[in-house]
A and B are shown apart, each in its own frame.
Chain A
Amino acid sequence: SQQGEEDPQALSIQEGENATMNCSYKTSINNLQWYRQNSGRGLVHLILIRSNEREKHSGRLRVTLDTSKKSSSLLITASRAADTASYFCAPARNAGNMLTFGGGTRLMVKP
């Protein structure tokens, strides 16, 4: 099944810095989604970028997609301690409506 692989596995930064997380996948996609999970809670949908889009913004989030390299990145600008969480990418295939999730990137933002 299609699965995104996030990199790095863990990231620690100071408040105010930018955080960049990467995602790679293997097959063609219709779109790619990013989710956030606070410790011990469920996942929350952050943003969806379609295969014909190269960049998308939502508040302090910027997502890029390079379908030729089968990769995506999530940038969180001016990070806050409250951004501390795990972040997952989920590539969505052309057929079907299943999402699969990798191990995520654990982001820690130090105050």
Chain B
Amino acid sequence: DVKVTQSSRYLVKRTGEKVFLECVQDMDHENMFWYRQDPGLGLRLIYFSYDVKMKEKGDIPEGYSVSREKKERFSLILESASTNQTSMYLCASSFPQASLNYGYTFGSGTRLTVV
């Protein structure tokens, strides 16, 4: 069974902490994505990556960075967590041009609370 695994389901961090959200996929997908989901705002793309060591900004990259050192792993980093980053974070992966033929595979999400 193919999988995208996010390391934590729930996470509570303090304001100002550096936070790492990890995502691992076992499908040999080239593309990986990080979204955040907030009530009334839908899913918003933070960053994506088409290949190892490559990254592109999405719609809301401010306050975030990413790392993709290995094909299977895509990490989202909150450099200095703030309360407005309290949200559900969703990782997804896909083959290249997946939107033309296949869908995305999502992880189960990490609900992050910053206090």
Chain A positions near chain B (C-beta within 8 angstroms): 1, 3, 30-31, 33, 35, 40-45, 48, 88, 90, 92-93, 96-104
The CA-CA distance from A19 to B39 in the complex, in Å, is 22
SS class of chain A's interface: helix, strand, loop or mixed?
loop
Name the A residues within 8 Å of B42 (CB-CB). 3, 88, 101-104
**Closest residue on chain B to residue A30 by CB atoms:** B100
Query: Within 8 Å of chain A (Cβ to Cβ): is B1?
Result: no
Instruction: State the interface size on chain B (CB cutoff 8 A).
Output: 29
B96 within 8 A of A: yes
Cβ proximity bits B94-115 to A, threshold 8 Å, 1 near / 0 not = 1011111111111111010000
Residue of chain B at shortest CB distance from A35: B103
Selected from A3, A90, A97, A100, the residue in CB contact (under 8 A) with B97 is A97
Instruction: Decide: A98 and B48 in contact? CB cutoff 8 A.
Output: yes
A90 to B62, CA, bound (A): 24
Complex Cα distance, B96 from A48, in Å, reads 16
Given A1-B59, A30-B100; A42-B108 close (CB under 8 Å): yes
Q: What are 16 A-B pairs with beta-carbon distances under 8 A?
A: A31-B99, A31-B100, A40-B88, A42-B108, A42-B109, A43-B92, A43-B104, A43-B106, A45-B103, A45-B105, A48-B101, A48-B103, A90-B99, A97-B31, A97-B99, A102-B42
Within 8 Å of chain A (Cβ to Cβ): is B4? yes
A48–B90 Cα distance when bound, in Å, is: 21
With the chains together, A44 CA to B104 CA distance in Å?
Answer: 8
